[in-house]
Amino acid sequence: MPRPAVQTVRAVHLVSRPDGPPTADNFAFVEEPAPALNEGDALVENIYQSVDPYMREEMDEGGWELNAPLEGRTLGRVVKSRTPALPVGALVHHRKAWRTHSVVTPAEATVLPDLPGVPLSAHLSVLGGTGLSAWVGLTRIARLKPGEDLFISAAAGGVGTAAGQLARLLGAGRIVGSAGSAAKVEHLTGHLGFDAAFDYHDGPVAEQLRAAAPDGIDVYLDNVGGDHLEGAISAMRDHGRIAWCGAVAQYNNRLQPPAAPRNLYDVVGKSLRLEGFLVRKHLDAKPELYDFLVPHLRSGAVVPDETVVRGFEHVVDAFLGVLRGANTGKMIVQLTDAP
Ligand code: NAP
């Protein structure tokens, strides 16, 4: 049966900037008539949207415009098309998120590879920018070698759960994770193959890390910054490497210098390498990630770890939830039925 024509599109705009933690009042839901398609355009019905910690930084001055369409990684299905490059029915990835439907050109959308046995949402989690961040952090920045011991912070989140599973397959030695609740700690050690994990609320990170990795660590994948970075520097063996991926502990207070790390100069004393990276500068690593991971996804050795919130009306809550740890694995919003 032909699908009814799309008459209206729902979207979310940023309407004010937060001072500290954001709230739902910083956003507004708007409804607009469905946009007309020009020659070369396609209309995409959005199925899954990613909500990510970096979006908190976009809410500050210099980031997203107020009262305007927002962006974010999105998967959808082409429902109307005026370009042969994006045929009706194609499943695509694009960045025009925070709306139920998006008009895209072929330059703005990528048709997803057909990967039987791999769930669609994996293109936002382990096979998307999240998994790629973990892959790049471990293989290109930290250059993890088999047998090396590793600490991952925000380990029960999207990047963290991908990194733990990838590191195990890459032959890491002891894998230690930190997370924000006892349930997450149990998830890491009980389901994701971490050797040890701790709740960072239970005591100083440096002390808990020393107890979990008494012989020290070779590699740290930092998603948090602050006291986690300080604790990792203190646990590092000589010639250790720190791949700095994110600093989620700081995003609500960007203008305040963090109190930690106080031991940064130990980077010199221990001959450490601390290197930050942006995944968007390593998109050429995607084929490597696919070659490595897709067989493990098909065999079930890796299961995408995701929290899927259903309903476009919950997209703001899902985003606010990521910032306070409501997710285990990658936080994804499902807008409509997946194929
Ligand atoms: P995520 O880990 O799925 O979600 C963020 C997690 O951070 C929450 O689940 C929460 O878990 C934890 N958290 C929040 N406040 C915290 C605090 N004060 N101290 C410690 N943990 C806190 O998000 P993600 O998308 O996978 O991203 C993880 C990190 O990587 C973020 O810093 C992000 O900005 C960064 N990132 C960087 C790149 C890049 O290109 N460099 C790309 C992707 C992501 P708990 O319950 O454990 O607190």
Q: Where are the domains of the chain?
A: 8-125+305-334, 129-280
How many angstroms separate the alpha carbon of residue 53 from the centre of ligand 1?
A: 6
CATH code given to domain 129-280 = 3.40.50.720
Give mean pLDDT, residues 269-278: 98
Rounded-to-integer distance, Cα 299 and Cα 295, Å: 6
Task: State yes or no: pLDDT of 332 exceeds 60.
Answer: yes
What DSSP character marks residue 283? Answer: G
Looking at ligand 1, which residue's alpha carbon is closest to its atom 21?
Answer: 154
Is the domain 8-125+305-334 a CATH 3.40.1190.20 member?
no
Rounded-to-integer distance, Cα 234 and Cα 149, Å: 14
How many angstroms separate the alpha carbon of residue 251 from the centre of ligand 1?
A: 10
pLDDT digits (tens, 9 = 90+) for 166-225: 999 999 999 999 999 999 999 999 999 999 999 999 999 999 999 999 999 999 999 999
How many angstroms separate the alpha carbon of residue 267 from the centre of ligand 1?
A: 23
Question: Which protein residues touch ligand 1 with a CB less than 6 Å away?
Answer: 52-54, 129-130, 133, 154, 156-160, 179-181, 184, 200, 223-224, 245-249, 277-279, 322-323, 325, 327, 331
Looking at ligand 1, which residue's alpha carbon is closest to its atom 34?
Answer: 246
How many angstroms separate the alpha carbon of residue 9 from the centre of ligand 1?
A: 30
How many angstroms separate the alpha carbon of residue 184 from the centre of ligand 1?
A: 14
| DSSP conformation letters of 326-338 | --SBEEEEE-S--
Summary mean pLDDT of the chain: 96
Q: What are the helix (H) ranges across the chain?
A: 54-58, 129-135, 158-169, 182-191, 205-212, 226-235, 266-269, 286-299, 315-323
Q: How confident is the model at residue 254, as a pLDDT?
A: 79
Collapse the DSSP code of 69 into the 3-class scheme (helix H, G, I; strand E, B; otherwise coil) and give the result. strand
Q: pLDDT band at residue 298, thresholds of 50, 70 and 90?
A: very high
pLDDT digits (tens, 9 = 90+) for 28-64: 999 999 888 999 999 999 999 999 999 999 999 999 9
Q: How confident is the model at residue 13, as a pLDDT?
A: 98
Q: pLDDT band at residue 257, thresholds of 50, 70 and 90?
A: confident
Give mean pLDDT, residues 260-273: 97
Looking at ligand 1, which residue's alpha carbon is closest to its atom 39?
Answer: 278
Taking the CA of residue 52 as reference, the ligand 1 atom at the shortest distance is: 25
Rounded to two decimals, the pTM is 0.97
Task: State yes or no: pLDDT of 2 exceeds 60.
Answer: no
Task: State yes or no: pLDDT of 165 exceeds 80.
Answer: yes
What DSSP character marks residue 257? Answer: P
Top mutation candidate among 223, 229, 274, 283 for ligand 1, by most atoms within 8 Å of CB: 223
Q: How confident is the model at residue 58, as a pLDDT?
A: 97
For residue 70, what are its two tokens? 């927002």
Give mean pLDDT, residues 142-146: 98
